[in-house]
Amino acid sequence: MSQAHVLLVDGLNLVRRIHAAQPEQPAQQFAERVSQALNKLKRGQSASHLLLVWDGDRNSWRKQLYPHYKAGRNPMPESLSNNLEMLRLHCQQAGFQSLQAPQEADDAIASIALALRKHEISTTIVSTDKGFSPLLDKGVKLWDHFNSKAIDAEAVEHRFQLPPKMLTQYWALAGDSGNKIPGVTGIGNKTALQLLQRYRSVKGVYQHLDELPQGQQKKLNDGKEMARLSYQLVQLKTDLTFNLKLNQYRC
């Protein structure tokens, strides 16, 4: 294992929460708070490299696939969106480089994290987004900056009663209201958990429909296309390629 330790910071996840705590703060003071948070992360995680990853401007492939994806979320406050470029420049001047993803930052972060792991480089994703949890099975660490705690496989399994690698199966059935992932109508969290604990995958559930009560059979048959769609939506793309040179992100 390389001695390098790379932090991949989910940019908007970090700054939106910092901004929400003091939304009226002047832009320059807010930028200072963000760079202070990054310095705290660098020291606390003994990071050798840090990369801020931001969502791109193009419409997400998930939104194209399912227009209701993330519908109803509060838009980014203008006091933040109008100052993002200034914020990125401030972070760069403080020694923290940025990458703008082609679409969603999540897919870019997942792809970079797994590429780094192939080279046996220690990697930590800094985000409170539970969607990164399935990557834990692949050896990537997660860190919640706001609660100052690691999110490990044990913590995820305690929360969901399933190992991290099975969460995409779970959300395919139960849906995810926060991201407007539909799941199967009538199959809630409890039923999805019971089905997956018994059959271990969505495919396994559908292969054994005849063993289920008629009510569940009907819901699952009626919702088969939504289960397939939801499974697509919750998958992280891990095959994006970036021409990154690690020494550019040393901090």
27 and 92 housed in the same domain: yes
Question: What string of pLDDT tens digits covers the 251 residues of the chain?
Answer: 568 999 999 999 999 999 999 999 999 999 999 999 999 999 999 999 999 999 998 889 999 999 999 998 889 999 999 999 999 999 999 999 999 999 999 999 999 999 999 999 999 999 999 999 999 977 799 999 999 999 999 999 999 999 999 999 999 999 999 999 999 999 999 999 999 999 999 999 999 999 999 999 999 999 999 999 999 999 999 999 998 999 999 99
Is the Cβ–Cβ distance between 173 and 195 less than 8 Å? Answer: yes
Domain region containing 164: 158-234
Q: How far apart are CA 9 and CA 116, in angstroms?
A: 14
Look at residue 1 in the predicted model and tell me its pLDDT: 53
What CATH number is associated with residue 220? Answer: 1.10.150.20
Look at residue 2 in the predicted model and tell me its pLDDT: 66
102 and 26 housed in the same domain: yes
Q: What are phi and psi of 239, to 5 degrees?
A: -115, 15
23 and 147 housed in the same domain: yes
What CATH number is associated with residue 66? Answer: 3.40.50.1010
Distance set, CA 231 to CA 28, 36, 106, 128 (Å):
41, 38, 16, 21
96 and 55 housed in the same domain: yes
Q: Give which of 103, 105, 104, 123 is closest to 113, Cα–Cα.
A: 123
Look at residue 202 in the predicted model and tell me its pLDDT: 98
